[in-house]
Structures are given as C-alpha cells and as structure tokens.
Structure 1
Amino acid sequence: MRRFIDIGANLTDSMYQGFYNGTSKHPPDLPNVLERAWNAGLKKIIITAGRLQETEEALKLAKTNDALFTTVGVHPTRCGDFDASGDPDAHLRALHSLIDENRGRVVAVGECGLDYDRLQFCDQDTQRRYFERQLSLSESSRLPLFLHCRASAADLVDVLRNQHGRCFGGVVHSFDGTKEEAESIMDLGYYIGINGCSLKTAANLAVAAALPADRLLLETDAPWCEIRPTHAGSRHVRPPAATPCKKERWQADRPVKARNEPANITQVLDVLAAVREEDPDTLAEQIFVNTTKLFFPDHVSDH
C-alpha cells in the first residue's frame, strides 16, 4: 500500500467540530476523518498551527495519537499578534517554550513566512520583521521551517538567503508560483509542498510537472485547498471511495462535500503523477522518503 505523510492539515479547524461559519451542522467527526486518513495510507499527519493559541490546541490533539505532530509559529497574516500581546519578546519566548517542552511532537517552525495577497490583515513591514524574528526558533531548535508564501517569493527568498545560517531547511507549502520562483527556493535547499491549490491552472500543472521528484512533498491543507471540478487537474482524480455528502446530511462514514480532509492526499498524488507521466507508486514512495528526511530524520533508516 502507498505510504503518505500529510505535511499540512488544519485539524483544529472548527469544521471538524461540525461548525461552519459559526453554525453547527453536524456532530464533531475528527475521529471519522482520521480513520479515513489511516485507511488511505497516511502514516503521519503534521497539524498546521498559525498562532500561539492554535499551537496549544494542536499540541493537545497531537498528544492523543502517535501519528500526529504539529508546527509552532505565527502565520504572516497574524503577525500583528506580537505587537497586540503588549510584549513581543515574551510572545516569542512562549513559542520557544512550546518547542522546548514538546520535542518529538513539534517537528517544524511555522506556519511562518510572507503573504502580500492579504495585507489587510497585517502590513508588509510587520510580516517581514516577525518572520525574521521567528527564524530564531529554527536556529535554537534545529527544526525545519514550514513556510507560507503568497505573492512574496522574491522577499521570502531574500530573507532566507540573508539568514541562511540560522535555518535548517524546510518547505514552502501550498506552492502556486512560477518555475523560476520554485528554482530560487530549491537553490537554497528547500522543498516544495504541493496540494490542491498548487494544481488549479494549466500553468500550475506545468510547474508541478517540471519540479525534481526529490524536492517534492505532499499535503492537503485540509479543510481547505480541495481539488475542485473546475481545477485543471481535476480530470486526473479518481472517484473517492465514499461519495461525499452535504454537511446538512452528514453521515459518519462519508466525507463532507467541499470540506477537504487528509485522506484526499491520494487525489493530489493522482494529479501529480498524471501530469508528470510517472508511476504513482514510485512517486508516492519518493515523496514519502523526502518527507521523512526533512521532518523525521531519526526515522530515515527505518525505510
């Protein structure tokens, strides 16, 4: 059976508690979501956290299952949290403490980076300042970075290049940039994370097809970034094992329509293997090894 590691899933999102836009539609069903994930070949899932409180919730969840792990960091659109806390230094120290006190469950620093598409949430200067400061988390822990990059590749690469000695590799997740941007990222030793948002357009597919297999990682970014019927890569997706149901007609043994979940990582592989004209079993195993090397280096010899 193919082996997968989902490098980014927002499992603390309220959708997995049955809430959509603040309204309850069905019972909490994260155990059902995880059961489908394990049945699909997921061996590990890294829970994505984007602010201090989310990290605390993610850690609590990760400690319930040996196959769950988490990141620690502040998302670029939430970097205003540092100033809003009244003591940015203390806020950063709290992140350091979460890493130090939870080694083994925390496997990356992030989600951090730059997002110039949504400056209404946090201005560019604040994002860059606290992105640079969060690199101290990687420097002290020797953990890789889980990076967010939207319309900001040049500045992201500039920061990573200038601070290269402080970092221990990482991945730019949910990549949707150009081949040239990907090459500038990979030239610094970083990986490229592919999910449904990476495969929307014909241009996206061309980039994904051109990337070296040994620099690829897979993710879902669930409950977001599902592969929709309107996406260029959707024609390569095999029908799901269970037909999704509407959230108002929830059934425990069926996924919820338009709510992504880790089991759908198989769909990302479907598209990626098709556009690259590669054997999906071989590609899946290569990516599994890539992911293990980056986030679970102590387990490389097990494979």
Structure 2
Amino acid sequence: MEMKYFDAHCHVNFVAYKEDREEVILRARDAGVGMNVVGTQKDTSADALALAEKYEHVYATIGLHPIHTSKSYHDVKELGEGGKEFTSRGEVFDASIYEALGESPRVIAIGECGLDYYRVEESTKDVQIQAFVEHIELANKLGKPLMLHIRNAYEDALEVLKAHAKVKGDVHFFAGDWETAKKFLDFGFTLSFTGVLTFTHDYDEVVRNAPLDMLISETDAPYVTPAPHRGKRNEPSYVAEVVRAIARIRGEDEEKVRGQVIENVKRVFLSGGNLPRA
C-alpha cells in the first residue's frame, strides 16, 4: 500500500466499531491511510496489537490511559462527540504485561500515557504520575517513542518528562497555547492535531507557528469527527481532512503538507523497521 496519509492516533479497537471494524480498516487502506491503533488498558492494548498483526497498514501503541489508573466517572461533556459515559474500573500498571506486548515490532509507541487532571481527585494525581513514570521507563527500556495524553496538566507532565524520559514522542491531541507548545517542541516532541481544526480556530496559532516538520495528523476516532462529516462516527479515513486543515491554516500547499506529515510519522514512529510491508 502506498501510504498517502497516516492517522497517528485512533481507537478502532473500541466497541464503537464492533459491527463494522474490518470495513472501517479496509476503507482506510483503500484510501491510502495507515493508522496507529492506541490501547488504553491491557485488554484494548492487546486488541490493538492483534489488529496490527493482521493488517499491513495498521500499527499499535500499548499503554494505560491516565483516567484508567483509578476508578472514576466520565461523561459525554468530558469525552466529547462520539463518547459515551462510563465508569473506569481502574487498573494498576503492570509493566511485565505491557513489556511483553511492546516487544512486538508492530508496536510503534508506548501510551497513551500521561496526566489528565480534567476531573481528577487530588488524591489520585500521585497515582497518575507514578503510572506515567513507569510508562516512560518502559519506553526507555524498549527504545520506543511515547504517545502522550495530557489534559489540564502540561506543566506537570513536562516536569516528569524532563526528569525521566530518554526517548521522545508525540503529544496527542495537543490543546495548549503557543507558549506551552514551544516547551514541548523545544524538548523534541511533535504535536498531533485532530478534526477539531476543521470547526474551531482555538489552535490556529500553534499550527501556524510550529515547524511543519513537528506536526502530525490524527483522528482520535471515534471521537471529534471533522467537517464535513460532523454528526457521524469518526474513522481513520477522515484524517485527510485534518491534513487539509493544517495546510489551510498555514497557507501552504496541501500536497507539501501531506508529504511532510508522512515524513514526520516515519521519523517519529516508523524508523525502527516498522515500515509498511507492502
């Protein structure tokens, strides 16, 4: 497959795709879209790897999402379009389980890991931080990049990274301002953006000012569906709309942006022998 686009962060391993998962994955393939399927717990991480081993254009990221480090409630307001309310059962990060998964060459990153302070009890912040450190240590050991999830916690996350990280990676669904963005860029992390670029101008300054070789496209499917597909469940084949939005915001040629984003993905995630098999 000639990879024209890459969805660096999606969840086609989730139950939202139970009825038509293969159709969604093959639709992306037919559109020239590679994808990184991201786990959020041990079961969804194992599912992500299983998909990566089945399809040539699919890769996996394995880890424990910060909101799953303790039992907690999450509603649609927090999760956004495409989300359904749920209560996390909570999971203790077991490095041995994730290391066994992460040794596969089809696993291209560790995560999504980080800190999420959106609706967190003060007492659980230390639990999140400890799990984050353990993810970083695993990434250091395996020599694989980090896929970061950070919400309302950019300064704390950066402090943890500077203290522990030997590897770099990507800040998934970056939602900070330009001053915050510069700190992560200076530390060597790329920033990825979703379909929100198609219906809000909140992140235009960051997209315009960041070096093009530090930007990556993602959908975060099934969430945050881009225009003109709003109201539908999101899917990886829609990532082309994100690339078009980046080009529009920057005032640059779409083909130039598309090609550079693919090069960025290869540099950050696919430089360890994980290039498409066909």
> For the superposition of Structure 1 and Structure 2, which TM-score range results when normalised by the shorter chain?
0.7 to 0.9
Identity %: 28
Cα 1:36/1:63, change in 2 over 3 Å: same
Match among 73, 89, 94 for residue 63 of structure 2: 73
Once the two structures are TM-superposed, the CA of residue 39 in structure 1 deviates from its matched residue by: 2.7
Q: Which residue in the other structure is 1:38 paired with?
A: 29
Match among 258, 262, 287 for residue 232 of structure 2: 258
Q: Which residue in the other structure is 2:39 paired with?
A: 49
Work out the CA distance in 1 between the residues paired with 2:203 and 2:235.
22
Q: Pairwise mapping of residues 10-159 of structure 1 onto structure 2 (< 5 A)? A: 10-17=11-18, 28-42=19-33, 44-80=34-70, 88=92, 91-100=94-103, 103-119=104-120, 123-159=124-160
Q: Pairwise mapping of residues 162-241 of structure 1 onto structure 2 (< 5 A)? A: 162-164=163-165, 167-197=166-196, 200-227=199-226, 234=227
Cα 1:77/1:300, change in 2 over 3 Å: closer
Once the two structures are TM-superposed, the CA of residue 33 in structure 1 deviates from its matched residue by: 1.2
Work out the CA distance in 2 between the residues paired with 1:95 and 1:277.
41
Work out the CA distance in 2 between the residues paired with 1:122 and 1:67.
41
The DSSP-based 3-state class of the residue aligned with 2:220 is coil
Work out the CA distance in 2 between the residues paired with 1:199 and 1:6.
16
Higher gyration radius (CA):
1
Q: Which residue in the other structure is 1:24 paired with?
A: none
Q: Which residue in the other structure is 2:242 paired with?
A: 268
Unaligned 5+ runs, structure 2: 72-88
Aligned length: 258
Does residue 254 of structure 2 align to residue 280 of structure 1?
A: yes
Q: Is the 8 A contact 2:222 2:235 kept in 1?
A: yes
Cα 1:274/1:2, change in 2 over 3 Å: farther
Cα 1:226/1:120, change in 2 over 3 Å: farther
Work out the CA distance in 2 between the residues paired with 1:301 and 1:39.
18
TM-score, length of structure 2 as denominator length: 0.85
Q: Is the 8 A contact 2:62 2:110 kept in 1?
A: yes
Work out the CA distance in 2 between the residues paired with 1:123 and 1:200.
34
The DSSP-based 3-state class of the residue aligned with 1:171 is strand
Once the two structures are TM-superposed, the CA of residue 269 in structure 1 deviates from its matched residue by: 1.2
Once the two structures are TM-superposed, the CA of residue 104 in structure 1 deviates from its matched residue by: 1.2
Work out the CA distance in 1 between the residues paired with 2:63 and 2:37.
12
Work out the CA distance in 2 between the residues paired with 1:79 and 1:5.
29
Work out the CA distance in 1 between the residues paired with 2:171 and 2:232.
24
The DSSP-based 3-state class of the residue aligned with 2:54 is coil
Unaligned 5+ runs, structure 1: 18-27, 228-233, 245-256
The DSSP-based 3-state class of the residue aligned with 1:54 is helix
Q: Which amino acid aligns with 1:126?
A: V
The DSSP-based 3-state class of the residue aligned with 1:297 is coil
Work out the CA distance in 2 between the residues paired with 1:11 and 1:2.
18
Q: Is the 8 A contact 2:197 2:245 kept in 1?
A: no
Work out the CA distance in 1 between the residues paired with 2:160 and 2:248.
34
The DSSP-based 3-state class of the residue aligned with 1:110 is strand
TM-score, length of structure 1 as denominator length: 0.79
Q: Which residue in the other structure is 2:82 paired with?
A: none
Q: Deviations over 1:4-42 (max 9, x none)?
A: 11111101111111xxxxxxxxxx212221232123221
Q: Deviations over 1:144-180 (max 9, x none)?
A: 000001111111111111113xx31100001111011
